[in-house]
Amino acid sequence: SFPDQVTIVEMGPRDGLQNERGVLSVETRISLIDRLAACGLSRVESGAFVSPKWVPQMAGSAEVLAGIRKPKGVRFPVLVPNLKGLEQALEAGAEEIAVFGAASESFSQRNINCSVAESMDRFAGVLTAARSHGLRVRGYVSCVLGCPYDGEVAPEAVAEMAGALYDLGCYEISLGDTIGVGTPLRAAKMVDVVAKRVPVEALAAHFHDTYGQALANLYAVMQQGVSIIDSSVAGLGGCPYARGAAGNVATEDVLYLLQGLGIQTGVDLEALAQTGHWICQALGRQNQSRVGLAMADV
């Protein structure tokens, strides 16, 4: 059976924009986040305190956090790879951060320039410091259904990484199909194995839509109890260290699916679709949401 309620974690301003060719102004990024929050989204990932040499699109995340409206009840998490990032996030007034590791060795090296074991040491330090400041910390595991360099990834490796992050104190583990290669049976099997290590209520699905399977994969894992979904307005996004990977599944498409299933989200699909068109115009790119495109024709 399906969950009664699903929480959407909006990825557009972070995962979405980090892979766009154009670098948006701080003002436009602020405007995007304000609009997304106004659509009824309760969690909007808003930036990343990573090296601007590695990901120039996320430079200025402190200014972005300083400029957004922050309505009550809405959370604006940011990515933090190490203690230096944490320091900047704290200074910028972040209340929630996310650390990000991978279930595959090669991806860890390319993405954060260290091994999986080294990353766990770093995250341990970040978690201890973050929690002493009262921050909520989310954990990401990348490459849960395949790695662009190592190929297949065993569900057991995903469970191990997810479990280690959960043990460190991450309140939720987001399972990233970074390159969007998964299919429903494999996604379900992976969640099955991971849920033996981390409670399913603490698992989020973060599926990129490279092969067009993300909605089908979500349909599968929701039936196993996953009720937190990461998605990106207009399907923006990708990953700079996963060449050819498409954006996250589009938030509009997820909302339409959930509406059809009678699942509550509290998000206004109409307003979100408009935001999708607006940001695509600002970026000069095609809208990747089928629902967004269909609604624009009406």
Q: Are the C-beta atoms of residues 114 and 122 closer than 8 Å to each other?
A: yes
Residue 190 contact partner, candidates ligand HMG, Mg ion, none, CB within 5 to 8 A by sort of partner: none
Q: Catalytic annotation on 280?
A: no
Choice among 39, 147, 170, 239 that is catalytic: 239
| Nearest-CB residue for ligand HMG | 176
Comparing CB distances to Mg ion, the nearer of 188 and 242 is 242
Residue 104 contact partner, candidates ligand HMG, Mg ion, none, CB within 5 to 8 A by sort of partner: none
Per-residue DSSP letter, 226: -
CA distance 180 to 206: 9
Q: Which of these ranges, 11-19, 109-117, 162-170, 212-220, lies near Mg ion under the rule CB under 5 A?
A: 11-19
Residue 84 contact partner, candidates Mg ion, ligand HMG, none, CB within 5 to 8 A by sort of partner: ligand HMG
Residue 18 CB, nearest approach to ligand HMG (Å) = 6
Residue 235 CB, nearest approach to Mg ion (Å) = 12
Q: Which of these ranges, 7-15, 40-48, 128-136, 284-292, lies near Mg ion under the rule CB under 5 A?
A: 7-15
The single-letter code of the amino acid at 84 is: K
Q: Can you name the residues that pair with 109 across neighbouring β-strands?
A: none
3 state SS for 76-116: CCEECCCHHHHHHHHHCCCCEEEEEEECCHHHHHHHHCCCH
Q: Is 244 helix (H, G, I), strand (E, B) or coil?
A: coil
Q: Does 177 bind Mg ion (CB under 5 A)?
A: no
Residues binding ligand HMG (CB under 6 A): 15, 18, 48-51, 54-55, 79, 81-82, 84-85, 100, 111-113, 140, 142, 176, 178, 206, 208, 239-241
Mask for 13-32, x = binds Mg ion (CB under 5 A):
--x-----------------
Strand arrangement, sheet containing 7-10: 43-44, 7-10, 228-231, 203-207, 172-177, 136-142, 96-102, 78-79, 47-48
Where b means 16+ CB within 10 Å and e means fewer, 72-86 reads eebbbbbbbbbeebb
Q: Which uninterrupted H or E stretch holds 123?
A: helix 116-132
Contact positions vs Mg ion (CB under 5 A): 15
Catalytic residue list: 239
